[in-house]
A and B are shown apart, each in its own frame.
Chain A
Amino acid sequence: MKYILIVGCGKSGKGLGLELSKTENVVVVDRSLRSLDSLGDDFNGKKIWADAMDTNTLEQAGVKEADVVFLLTGNDNLNLVVSKVVKRKYGVKKVVLQVNDIAKEKIFKEEGLNIINRTNLIVEVLNKCIS
């Protein structure tokens, strides 16, 4: 079982958390209690109601043991800052983050982080639809 940390329980965080908690060890962190509650009874993992910009929260969530960290808040800047700290300070091997702005994606790309951009993803899928 992999240890997976998800920061941000919006639509993607929630969906991923629910899916992965069936087979893996999942921790979801969010600043909003309502978002965490939205995971419902089907969620089989740990929920932490706290600020991910606080390193104590990350440590409490077991970032050091995490195999993968997903940063899926709607805030690009928060995702970028936390991803770098998670990679640099805690040495997490696999860090995946959502960045909505393409310009920022380009700048931070070189850092060895897996950056996901919604627009690019959709364009890719749509492109496949015509072939």
Chain B
Amino acid sequence: MQSVHIVSAYDEELKYLSKRIAAMGGHAERMVEQAVAALVNVDHGLAQKVIQDDLVLDEGQREIDDKAIIIIARRQPMATDLREIVGAIRISADIERVGDLGKNVAKRVASVDGRQPNSLFRGIEALANLALTQLKEVLDVYASRSVERIGLVRDRDDQIDAMYTSLFRELLTYMMEDPRNITPCTHLLFCAKNIERIGDHATNIAETIYYIVTGEQMPADRPKGDKTDKIVLPGTVPAK
């Protein structure tokens, strides 16, 4: 994976960074998983646990920042090493954001009473599964450094966007049907948005890994499939 340095402590430090990133990633995966489970099963206890777990990620990010800065100052890294360290800073920031988004979903559990149609929760669960699969694949690529798999990760972003667009439309329909649905459905809409953002952060991480390994930026043809900006349901078209 890496060439060996004359100072073996340097290798240890770099290894420690990637180990911490992986641990943070595992923690974030678990948080998102549990936040969505808490939302679908209206489990307030689990939601509270997720909210508290976020502290671990905040601390992890600060630790990685500190360690990375110290390595840069002390070892004057070049080339791959420098990219590795800067990449670690960026990835840990992305993972920390994923944790925040998971925490936000967990916070909204209290405002959603679970009386909304089952299909909505299934939709959010399916969206979360897509986002989590993406996050898992990205972190697996970070472990294996097999950047040729990154293309697949980007493809999945399309699916997430399509799913989000469909959920957006369905939520609007429920809100129009009955104004009493507006409060819970708005919260669900934010949950869906948060999950969709998790997918974006996974894509960011994928791009960072590509940069670490190859030293080149990924081509910028990142697909943009979120069409919710154009959704207007019949009957809600603003009067001219």
A and B together in one complex: no
Chain B positions near chain A (C-beta within 8 angstroms): none
